[in-house]
Amino acid sequence: MGELIQLKGYRGGLRVIIDEEAPLAEVEVALIKKLEGLGDFIAGSAITLDAGSRALSDDDIRRLQNVLLREFDVRIQGIISSSTKTRRLAGVLDIPAFEKAEPVRDEAVEMLEEFPTANARLVKRTLRAGQEERFLEGSVILMGDVNPGADVIASGDIIVLGSLRGRAFAGALGDRSAVIAALNFDPVQIRIADCISIRPEEGSRGRRFRSAMEIARIEEDRIVVSRYKSKGE
């Protein structure tokens, strides 16, 4: 038996894939352990539950709803299942149900699992021109975009689950191990500790949206931007 719980990025949130055969009690325990590892950033959010071919009863669905609400203040916004019974019961409980999941990137989830989020500030909004998000007690995780003219400043890492097109300053108190990452990485300027990188003039018109998360870090006293690679790659 493999992992009882898997996490993937899905529709701007999390897709929680549960084992199709393990007892539900074991699935619950594994679910709590998995989500606890992500830190507090998921509180108040919504997930899509992927049950695969598993047939869930209405009591099963309510049971999973209750554990998510009780432990993490997380609600189920949708259920993916190839089981007609599961989809029908989800509809009875006013939960949208789908037979298949849409293919999406999951780099964001892998990034959040790899980097510590215990001292992170979660920002659920888009920063527009003239706006600034400053946090000097840890990292910033921004669920939205950073538009041109907006600034994000953190003493730790900066992770943008959207487009970074403004300015970002990570490691603001001198931490050269800090990183800056974004799903669409096209900043006007980035800075990590004492190193600064400015977007080339030819890029000022904007680049095409890339299909993979990119990450900036200091290497040999200069900032290097590369495609984010998960531990399994």
pLDDT, tens digit (0-9, with 9 covering 90-100), for 72-100: 888 898 999 999 999 999 999 999 999 98
Residue 185 bridge partners (DSSP): 164
Map out the domains of the chain with their CATH numbers: 5-104 (3.30.750.50), 108-227 (2.160.20.70)
Where does the chain have alpha helices with state H? Answer: 24-36, 58-72, 84-92, 107-114
Q: Which residue has tokens 């298949």?
A: 100
pLDDT at 173: 92
Give dist(CA 173, CA 154) in Å, integer.
8
Task: Give me the half-sphere count of Cα atoms (radius 13 Å) on the Cβ side of residue 202.
Answer: 0
Integer Rg of the chain from CA = 19
* Residue 180 per-residue DSSP state: E
Q: How many CA atoms lie within 13 A of 149 on its CB side?
A: 4
Residue 201's pLDDT is what?
43
pTM, entire model:
0.55
Cα–Cα distance measured from residue 77 to residue 97, given in angstroms and rounded to the nearest whole number: 9
pLDDT for 105-126, tens place per residue? 555 666 666 666 667 888 888 8
- pLDDT over threshold 80, residue 12: no
pLDDT band at residue 9 using 50, 70 and 90 as cut-offs: low
How many percent of the chain have pLDDT more than 90?
Answer: 56
- Write the pLDDT tens digit of every residue in 182-217: 888 889 999 999 999 987 543 333 443 444 678 999
pLDDT of residue 109: 62
